[in-house]
């Protein structure tokens, strides 16, 4: 997300690269672009507030962000457009399990979890 001209990663989740392709019923689809469009549509023109959770010496930061008071990362995970990052936090694990069970978002497809941005290759 870009907030006030600053790029912030959403804390506690792993989201797909916009260039990622997934496979559904043997056909490739642009799941990364679809995930990006979903978050852009969800956030829209809502009021955004972010709280920095982690920041490194280079100024890269991860934050928990809220759109009209609702946790953006929680929405992404519950809709299946991102995974819980267990190395950062456990708060989204149950939402991920529900999305996976319901085959929402990315979970309706085949994909390689190693293709996800800050994922270290471990299953989410």
Number of domains in the chain: 1
Q: Is residue 98 a part of any domain in this protein?
A: yes
Percent of the chain clearing pLDDT 70 (strictly above)? 85
Whether the pLDDT of residue 117 is over 70: the answer is no
The range of the structural domain enclosing residue 79 comes to: 2-111
Q: What is the mean pLDDT of residues 38-64?
A: 90
Q: Is residue 116 a part of any domain in this protein?
A: no
pTM for the model: 0.83
Domain of 58, CATH number, reads: 2.40.50.90
d(CA 64, CA 53): 7
Q: Is residue 92 a part of any domain in this protein?
A: yes
Q: What is the mean pLDDT of residues 34-56?
A: 91
pLDDT for 121 = 34
Q: Is residue 86 a part of any domain in this protein?
A: yes
What is the band of 93 on the pLDDT scale with cuts at 50, 70, 90? Answer: very high
pLDDT for 119 = 41
Q: Is residue 121 a part of any domain in this protein?
A: no
**Sign of the dihedral defined by the CA atoms of residues 22, 60, 57, 92, in that order:** negative
Q: Is residue 59 a part of any domain in this protein?
A: yes
d(CA 37, CA 82): 13
């Amino acid at each position: 997300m870009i907030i006030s001209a600053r790029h912030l990663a959403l804390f506690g989740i792993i989201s797909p690269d916009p260039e990622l392709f997934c496979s559904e019923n043997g056909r490739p689809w642009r799941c990364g672009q679809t995930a990006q469009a979903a978050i852009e549509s969800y956030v829209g023109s809502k009021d955004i507030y972010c709280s920095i959770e982690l920041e490194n010496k280079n100024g890269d930061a991860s934050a928990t962000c809220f759109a009209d008071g609702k946790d953006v990362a929680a929405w992404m995970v519950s809709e299946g457009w991102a995974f819980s990052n267990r190395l950062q936090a456990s708060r989204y694990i149950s939402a991920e399990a529900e999305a996976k069970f319901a085959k929402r978002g990315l979970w309706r497809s085949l994909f390689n979890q190693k293709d996800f941005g800050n994922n270290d290759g471990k299953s989410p």
